[in-house]
Structure 1
Amino acid sequence: MQLLRGLGFFHVNMFLFSATIGTGIFVSPKGVLKYCSLNIPIFLSIWAGCGLLSMMNAVCLAEIAATYPVSGASYYFLKRALGSSVAFLSIWIKIFACTLGISAQCLLIASSLIQCFYSECQAPELPKKCLALAILWSFGILSARGIKPVAWFNTISSLMKLSVLCLISLTGIVLLVIGKKENVSRFEKALEAELPNVSQIAEAILQVYYAYLGSSFLIVIAGEIKRPAETIPKSIIYGLSVVTVLYLLTNVSFLAVLTSEEIISSDSVAVTWMNRVFPSMQWIISLLISAFLFGSVSCGIVSASRIFYATSQEGQFPFIYSMLNDLHSPVVADLQAVILSSVGIISSNMIYLIKYVGLGTWCLNLLNMIGLLKLRYQNPDLPRPYKVRLPFVFGSIASSLFLILTPVIQSPSTEHVYQVVFLFCGLLCYWLQAYLNRHGVCFNRITCYWQLLFNVSPSEHPEKLIPSLNPN
């Protein structure tokens, strides 16, 4: 039993679009423009630069996935490069980021759908949470059916997302070409704005990166991709290039229709843009926002379940998470991801904890790059079907250090203390699970009962599936 390698180049690109394109492009322009001091050239440059930076980081991670083509490749790699404690810390960060992100997305979908029935007041919390739970568990059932149904669903979702962004982009271009003079005048006066300082640029980059968060999703599902050494780097370069161009054109369209002050004062720039260009279309706007999030939720559940799956195979989580059903899906890991996300929906205040994961995410990217360099030095003869150039690795390290240190040095706050405490709690949990593993013989019988209940079988250890470790 093992996860099926059933995803070709087309489906991998659709997964990348679905995981990357989300509400970030609708929400982030507000904060980015604010931190750019309304400077439009800097604003657009940061969007383009972050697209290139995210591509650089993802290409560096692609070497890890090509060398260790298993699901949860980053965790598998970190455990061998930097040790079990660092690998567990990466899982600690990813689980919080995934499950709280899924909860927030499900609540946003439910809110945008229900709000249509409450045009004159705020929608009540109970029906919103019930609908969010129904959406979450529906995607959990879909994920338990295997990777192929999820791939086809994300293909439809991705095509819808691309169509919406193309519509917004083309509308903006048309308004600039044949529109009123006021649409063009905002760009003519762009160079008159003041320049932001270094701290503001760092904050703006962090805001933009929210819109590119899914760019490393393919590394999580490397064990289910055909010819990962060829497919992953090619998909990252082509896919993220398309996303970067669409994000730039979408922001140009926002600026062509709305003033900088209107963008900053808007809760959702896309909704304000739609109301200006296509008034009286609230239903369509709600459906479009929901469509943008549906694919992101399904990718989040797949990502979280593969994290549980990989950690279980390495013995740091219960063995039951790495068992597969007859559809080759880690159904117990899917269930665990859905349960944790359900807790986030029910206790919606927990979603605010996601802001404390930001520092950890960049620390994790830094650790991946350090581990990559260490592995290059210690195991130079290790077969690497895809090998990234060292300047990209050093560039990724420099960008991670810049985004970690600049906000802390320029504007220290208690939030940074909470982020450090969050990371320290991960180490405490690592020591706790290590103790339980040494005294966990009594859990074997419980695992057998769970195995019978879910009709699942143990999967092969990833080392048997990696060609570089099995030359014969």
Structure 2
Amino acid sequence: IVLISLVRRQYWIPQTEKNNISKEKGAGGIYFRKAVGYWEGFSFIVGIVIGSGIFIAPTGVIRFSHLNVGVALCIWGACGLLSLMAALCYAELGVSLPSSGGSYYYSKRALGSIPAFIYMCVMVFFLRPASCAAKALTLSEYALQPFYGECEAPEVTKKSLAVAVLLFLTIINCFNTKWAVLVQKVFTFLKILALTVIIFGGISQLYNGKTGSLANGFSGEIASVSDLAQAIYQGMWAYSGWSAVNTIAEELKNPRKNIPRCISTALPVVTLLYVLVNVSYLTVMTPKEMTMSAAVGNTWASRVLGSFFWIIPMSVAISTFGSINGSTFLQGRLKYAASREGHLPSFFSMLNIHHLTPAPGIILSGLLSILFVISSSLLTLTSYFGFFSWVVITMTCISLLVLRYREPDLPRPYKVPLPIVLLTIGAGIFFILAPIIRSPKKQYIYGLLAMFGSLIFYVPFVHFKLRFKFFDKVTYIMQLLCEVSFIDESKAFKGK
């Protein structure tokens, strides 16, 4: 659909309109516009973070906590604190280097081309598409549940709906940045409203004396270090997305002011909502019931809202829809930044001449996410995501220290305290090594092999700059097809 629409616009658009467009947005007019302010940035963080995670991760957190309610709630709070600490480190990097790409650009500048290339390959071809696939599958699970009652929705139906959602949001993000930002703001409000309904439902249960599993507190088995790390992986996946404003810094108004403001206000709000939502779940479900529920939000709704239980599944679907939209928005910017630095084909550093969106990167992201929908094991996807998220966070915080030493004169309107940086790096190293040492699993081995296997492509195509002539023809055809052009370099951020 995207390609057909682009072809139609390329060949059927009136010649007079083409001339007007070329005058208005010629080579000197193609660059990212500052279209994201504080509230938009706030909505991107909250809207991406609050997605499917809070409705999937509670199952994994309580399971790896060995059904210990107190430990599980502490993990939710600890994940919020760890996310805030890491986000503050990102805030310093964002105000110093307000460039598209976020962690990728920081890693390349501080650690060199090879670590940045590995990061780019993992994020572009695995983590981000896998995250979108998991969210799309969750949306399907919740959106279809009211139509099937207690029966399980057919797998083909769930995957078809997930693919349709990914295609639709790919189109929206390709054709209009303002539409994508508007969708993000509206759905952020709706998802906060949905979580508020769950929280007040839990408060009403507590008021009526139904403390449920909360009365037992910390009674139960204490999990091992490896299992606690796994539980934090599940929780951190629910918090993923707080680096959104770093990735879109070139489109953010006054980034040196708004990046710290967005981060410092959005994450405490999310942490409070998450803890209260888990408390609400535990008022009507036992820890064992939570581990057996594929959709804890649906189970809660059926027991608290009665015949109006359908409100929560639809609210969850709406929430997840907004999170997928934000992730799709970010993925195109990451590919744009990697292409600009020479780590992806030049085609991905071009913007659509009509809408100034990185359409090539967005289309590739949508296709990769659709491929990941084939795998419906959400718990496996979140395990992968948690492990590599800590690798990325640790590498980025190390980049912060390197830049402080190597470039002390770099403007730093905001500077995070050194103990927070060191604690974040220490936590990252622990959560990377603990599961591998205490309970090695094949997915970690496969993941590490995939990371370093990307060097097979780095050596010939980046280091030795191997080129094939037919790539130029392919780039030319795709450029005409998608109506994209290189940006105006004089107005693009170069990190100087």
Q: Same fold (TM over 0.5)?
A: yes
User: With structure 1 as the length reference, what TM-score do the two structures score?
Assistant: 0.92
CA 1:192–1:350: 2 relative to 1, 3 Å:
closer
Determine if the alignment matches structure 1 residue 9 to structure 2 residue 52.
no
- Which residue is 1:150 aligned to? 180
CA RMSD of aligned residues (A): 2.3
- Which residue is 1:261 aligned to? 288
User: With structure 2 as the length reference, what TM-score do the two structures score?
Assistant: 0.87
- Give 3-state SS (helix, strand or coil) of 2:243's partner: helix
CA 1:107–1:50: 2 relative to 1, 3 Å:
closer
- Which residue is 2:48 aligned to? 19
CA 1:357–1:285: 2 relative to 1, 3 Å:
closer
- Give 3-state SS (helix, strand or coil) of 2:461's partner: helix
CA 1:383–1:186: 2 relative to 1, 3 Å:
same
Task: Please state how far the C-alpha of 1:307 moved relative to its aligned partner.
Answer: 1.3
- Which residue is 2:259 aligned to? 232
Determine if the alignment matches structure 1 residue 28 to structure 2 residue 60.
no
Determine if the alignment matches structure 1 residue 320 to structure 2 residue 350.
no
Task: Please state how far the C-alpha of 1:11 moved relative to its aligned partner.
Answer: 1.0
- Which residue is 1:219 aligned to? 246
CA 1:125–1:187: 2 relative to 1, 3 Å:
closer
Q: How far apart, in 1, do the equivalents of 2:49 and 2:205 lie?
A: 27
- Which residue is 1:204 aligned to? 231
Q: How far apart, in 2, do the equivalents of 1:250 and 1:332 lie?
A: 38
Task: Please state how far the C-alpha of 1:121 moved relative to its aligned partner.
Answer: 4.4
- Which residue is 2:5 aligned to? none
Spell out, residue by residue over 1:370-398, the C-alpha distance to the aligned partner (whole angstroms, 9 max, x if none). Answer: 11111111111122232222111101101
User: Structure 1: which 5+ runs fail to align?
Assistant: none
- Which residue is 1:365 aligned to? 393
Q: How far apart, in 1, do the equivalents of 2:386 and 2:375 lie?
A: 19
Partners of 1:23 and 1:211 within 8 A in 2: yes
Partners of 1:48 and 1:248 within 8 A in 2: yes
Pairs within 5 Å for 1:75-114: 75-95=104-124, 96-114=126-144
Q: How far apart, in 1, do the equivalents of 2:165 and 2:132 lie?
A: 11
CA 1:184–1:129: 2 relative to 1, 3 Å:
closer
Determine if the alignment matches structure 1 residue 138 to structure 2 residue 138.
no
CA 1:127–1:168: 2 relative to 1, 3 Å:
closer
- Which residue is 2:363 aligned to? 335
- Give 3-state SS (helix, strand or coil) of 1:457's partner: strand
- Which residue is 1:445 aligned to? 473
Determine if the alignment matches structure 1 residue 285 to structure 2 residue 315.
no
The one-letter code of the counterpart of 2:139 is I
Shifted more, 273-282 versus 329-338: the winner is: 273-282
Determine if the alignment matches structure 1 residue 252 to structure 2 residue 279.
yes
- Give 3-state SS (helix, strand or coil) of 1:108's partner: helix
Q: How far apart, in 2, do the equivalents of 1:336 and 1:38 lie?
A: 41
Task: Please state how far the C-alpha of 1:244 moved relative to its aligned partner.
Answer: 0.6
- Which residue is 1:52 aligned to? 81
Task: Please state how far the C-alpha of 1:324 moved relative to its aligned partner.
Answer: 1.0
- Which residue is 1:168 aligned to? 198
Q: How far apart, in 2, do the equivalents of 1:282 and 1:289 lie?
A: 12
Shifted more, 312-321 versus 422-431: the winner is: 422-431
Q: How far apart, in 2, do the equivalents of 1:262 and 1:393 lie?
A: 38
Task: Please state how far the C-alpha of 1:201 moved relative to its aligned partner.
Answer: 2.0
Q: How far apart, in 1, do the equivalents of 2:204 and 2:381 lie?
A: 42
Q: How far apart, in 2, do the equivalents of 1:350 and 1:195 lie?
A: 27
Match of 2:418 among 369, 390, 393: 390
The one-letter code of the counterpart of 2:482 is F
Spell out, residue by residue over 1:160-182, the C-alpha distance to the aligned partner (whole angstroms, 9 max, x if none). Answer: 110111111112122212x13xx
Task: Please state how far the C-alpha of 1:353 moved relative to its aligned partner.
Answer: 6.2
Partners of 2:460 and 2:466 within 8 A in 1: no
The one-letter code of the counterpart of 1:404 is I
CA 1:20–1:112: 2 relative to 1, 3 Å:
same
- Give 3-state SS (helix, strand or coil) of 2:201's partner: helix
Partners of 2:194 and 2:312 within 8 A in 1: no
CA 1:330–1:174: 2 relative to 1, 3 Å:
same
- Give 3-state SS (helix, strand or coil) of 2:78's partner: helix
Partners of 1:363 and 1:404 within 8 A in 2: yes
Task: Please state how far the C-alpha of 1:437 moved relative to its aligned partner.
Answer: 3.5
Determine if the alignment matches structure 1 residue 307 to structure 2 residue 365.
no
Q: How far apart, in 1, do the equivalents of 2:113 and 2:106 lie?
A: 10
Shifted more, 27-36 versus 355-364: the winner is: 355-364
Task: Please state how far the C-alpha of 1:461 moved relative to its aligned partner.
Answer: 4.3
Q: How far apart, in 2, do the equivalents of 1:448 and 1:50 lie?
A: 46
- Which residue is 2:302 aligned to? 275
- Give 3-state SS (helix, strand or coil) of 2:342's partner: coil
CA 1:349–1:192: 2 relative to 1, 3 Å:
closer
CA 1:20–1:313: 2 relative to 1, 3 Å:
same
Spell out, residue by residue over 1:394-423, the C-alpha distance to the aligned partner (whole angstroms, 9 max, x if none). Answer: 011011011011111222233332222121
Shifted more, 431-440 versus 375-384: the winner is: 431-440
Match of 2:100 among 71, 76, 80: 71
User: Structure 2: which 5+ runs fail to align?
Assistant: 1-29
- Which residue is 1:405 aligned to? 433
The one-letter code of the counterpart of 1:250 is V
The one-letter code of the counterpart of 1:162 is I
Q: How far apart, in 2, do the equivalents of 1:410 and 1:91 lie?
A: 28
Match of 2:72 among 11, 32, 43: 43
